[in-house]
Amino acid sequence: MPTTILIDPVTRIEGHARISIYLDEAGEVSDARFHVTEFRGFERFCLGRPFWEMPAITARICGICPVSHILASARAGDAILAVNLPPAAEKLRRLMNLAQIVQSHTLSVFHLSGPDLFLGFESDPARRNIFGLIAAEPELARAGIKLRQFGQELIERLGGRKIHPAWAVPGGVRSGLADADRAAVAAALPAARATAREALARFKGALPGFSEEVASYGRFASLFLAMVGEHGTWEHYGGQLRIMDSQGHILADHVPPEEYAELIGETAEDWSYLKFPYYRPYGYPDGSYRVGPLARLNVCRSFGTPLADAELVEMRRRAGGGPVTASFFYHYARLIEILGSLELIERLLDDPELSARRLRAEADVNRLDAVGCSEAPRGTLFHHYRVDERGLLTYVNLIIATGQNNAAMNRTVAQIAGRYLRGDRLDEGLLNRVEGGIRAFDPCLSCSTHAIGIPALTARLYGPAGQLLDEVAR
Amino acid sequence: MAARTLTIDGQLVSARAGETILEAARDAGIAIPTLCHLEGLSAVGACRLCLVEVVGSSRLLPACLTPVSEGMEVRTASERLQANRRALVELLFAERNHVCAVCVASGNCELQNLAVQVGMTHVRYAYLTPQCSVDISHPQFGIDHNRCVLCTRCVRACDEVEGVHTWDVAGRGVNARVITDLGLPWGEATSCTSCGKCLLACPTGAIFRRGTSVAELERDPRRIAVIVASRQERW
């Protein structure tokens, strides 16, 4: 019998979503859709604002990764002013972005996915949450919470607050890092690094047991997009774009972010508020690509720090060489990025230039069209602004990491449903797997629709004629 | 100058004849909330936040404009007054688009401070969410009408202290807007001397320095009184 399965709401992700699974006459999964059901309209209501306010306004899109929006927006502002930043300002911005990658990835790995990864997908659902993790693995859970705190506190030491620091501004940053704060961060680094290594070791130990998940949680060929540094190394700020296919061919390289529109097209589907970006030369949907930790580690030649590079080599070896196509490895990539970010933070803290007084370049409107780009924890983030000659916004386009993983998340849901759906009913096991599969992308729906929401999941199962067969909500 | 003795909130207060209730109260250390009042500028009684109860008067009277008189009995903090003030502040928030979280003046704003002072936890009235413009045509300054409370402090500072009267008010009621040079964009207002006194006088983030980002605006409205006092000392 033809069937549609709906999972609504999806839990332990950031935002509100619904999942529909469509069955054909033979009872096989024919399609799956990950609907994002929120809408906020930042691109519209920011019109008419002075662009100097945009870092702080767009920071409010998200409470998890406000720093990404602040930095992408400030970079677009730098370009409108047409200035080069004082070197210390660039380094301080890098430091804050690394701190955010650490705290956001830790939230994903420990708080949201930790129960699946460290207690197991098949463990008792009543205990498969952060509290269950604290009860079963108090040391690991405590270390994870402290690791997130490390990142959050570094953000606070730089920007004055942990969430929504109105700190990076067009032309630079507002304040530097005091020597006492620098020493405090350095003192907390060894424990943070030990936690990152321990979590990586635990994950690698558990990985052989996840062979089914690796095989079916979104393992498919696709393109990958991420920023890379000058020599193809891992980059999170100020780099250029690279697109690679799943055979490892580099399709586009050294693309400056301001030329994103030549690289990326966007289309919409009438069943989701989330747009579908695609690699323009391949069209939609063939040009669908993935962004985020796995994409960054796939496209880069090396990470650029000793510990992370050793882990990267090992991950590639475990995945069979070449670009890693299994989305389950997003978790793995996230752990490597935490470790590498901590190494880069340590390197930056030693830089004497951080103490420079000059932190802000001053200028007026010198360019009317500008793009700012940063690697957010979840992937490449673009802010594209146009302003009038006085600096009031006339056009705003935001391309968000989660949006770019939209097509990949749909394929992941379809793959999991195809593998685990039994009959025309939704059972707990399937729901868990679908949620777990989506969680690998650590989607942030508030960001991607620039929309407000409550964490929740609904799933619906539809038959071939479109009739609703089953619905589960929680 | 003749002295007048009155009672404010049960406290005996001595004041000079001709002084306002507000001046007498402040001299006695009794705080009455104000918004349109600014030391150094004439009083207009526009915001109604300083309304007080005076025994013998059935109406509430603005403390900034009501002179003291002998034996006057004034109450500044009755429940009725407190409820009134909270309602007034809520109405100010409902009338335009005041979003502290993304405002240049956050942390340095008299309206924000008032909301805290009167205990405003939420706004009970429907927001009007008007479409207001932002004018940053001036080389140094900007005016965001979303954040203007029509206190006219900029108008008075420009007229009474700088003496050029670039600012004025056009329109009536909720459609009233402060304007420069009879409605020209600020950047084209040739009477403006770019002195920045309107910025000093503004209690909110409505008038700001171009290029200011969120919660970054710093200015001290007390400097208007300093300018006026310094000028009077000359001969």
Asked whether residue B92 is assigned to any structural domain, the reply reads no
Give the residue numbers spanning the domain of B63. Answer: 3-77
**CB atoms A164 and B101 under 8 Å:** yes
Local structure of A371: helix, strand or coil: strand
What pLDDT is recorded for position A37?
Answer: 57
User: Among the three residues B45, B77, B109, which one is the final residue of a domain in this structure?
Assistant: B77
pLDDT along chain A (474 residues), means of 10: 64 67 86 72 91 94 89 98 97 97 95 88 80 92 96 95 90 94 97 97 95 94 97 96 97 96 88 84 93 98 98 96 95 98 97 91 97 96 96 93 88 90 79 84 63 52 85 70
What pLDDT is recorded for position A453?
Answer: 32
Same-domain pairing of B212 and B137: yes
- A60 vs B102, B133, B142: nearest CB: B102
> ipTM score of the complex?
0.91
Same-domain pairing of B58 and B164: no
Beta carbons within 8 Å of A3's beta carbon, 6+ residues apart: A21, A22, A23, A27, A424, A461, A462, A463, A464, A469, A470
| Contact list, A89 vs chain B (CB under 8 Å) | none
What pLDDT is recorded for position A449?
Answer: 43
A77 burial level (CB within 10 Å; 0-12, 13-18, 19+): buried
**CB atoms A55 and B214 under 8 Å:** yes
Closest CA–CA distance from residue B205 to any residue of chain A (Å): 12
Asked whether residue B184 is assigned to any structural domain, the reply reads yes
Tell me the two tokens of residue B27: 């001299």
Same-domain pairing of B60 and B143: no
**CB atoms B214 and A53 under 8 Å:** yes
Give the CATH number of the domain where residue B14 resides: 3.10.20.740
Asked whether residue B82 is assigned to any structural domain, the reply reads no
Partner A contacted by B60 (CB < 8 A): no
Same-domain pairing of B151 and B184: yes
User: Among the three residues B18, B44, B77, which one is the final residue of a domain in this structure?
Assistant: B77
Same-domain pairing of B106 and B205: yes
Please determine, for residue B84, whether its predicted confidence score (pLDDT) is greater than 70: yes
Question: Which of A40-54, A264-278, B21-35, B137-151 is least confident?
Answer: A264-278
What pLDDT is recorded for position A290?
Answer: 97
Mean pLDDT of B71-84: 97
Radius of gyration of chain B (CA): 19
Partner B contacted by A56 (CB < 8 A): yes
Instruction: Calculate what percentage of chain B has a pLDDT beyond 90.
Output: 97
Mean pLDDT of B188-200: 98
Instruction: Calculate what percentage of chain B has a pLDDT beyond 70.
Output: 99
Same-domain pairing of B30 and B134: no
Same-domain pairing of B64 and B112: no
Only one residue has tokens 């994002």, namely A36
Between A321 and B166, name the one with better pLDDT: B166
Question: Which of A353-357, B78-82, B108-112 is least confident?
Answer: A353-357
The residues with which A385 forms a beta bridge, in sequence order, are A370, A396
Asked whether residue B211 is assigned to any structural domain, the reply reads yes
Asked whether residue B90 is assigned to any structural domain, the reply reads no
| Contact list, B210 vs chain A (CB under 8 Å) | 50, 52, 364, 391
Same-domain pairing of B204 and B160: yes
Same-domain pairing of B146 and B70: no
Residue pair A224/A380 in contact by the 8 Å Cβ criterion = no
Amino acid, single-letter form, for residue A188:
A
Give the CATH number of the domain where residue B184 resides: 3.30.70.20
Asked whether residue B83 is assigned to any structural domain, the reply reads no
The total domain count for chain B is 2
Residue pair A7/A471 in contact by the 8 Å Cβ criterion = no
Same-domain pairing of B158 and B196: yes
User: Among the three residues B19, B44, B77, which one is the final residue of a domain in this structure?
Assistant: B77
Radius of gyration of chain A (CA): 21
Asked whether residue B93 is assigned to any structural domain, the reply reads no
Same-domain pairing of B112 and B218: yes
Q: To 10 degrees, what angle do helices A179-206 and A306-318 make?
A: 20
Asked whether residue B227 is assigned to any structural domain, the reply reads yes
Same-domain pairing of B69 and B109: no
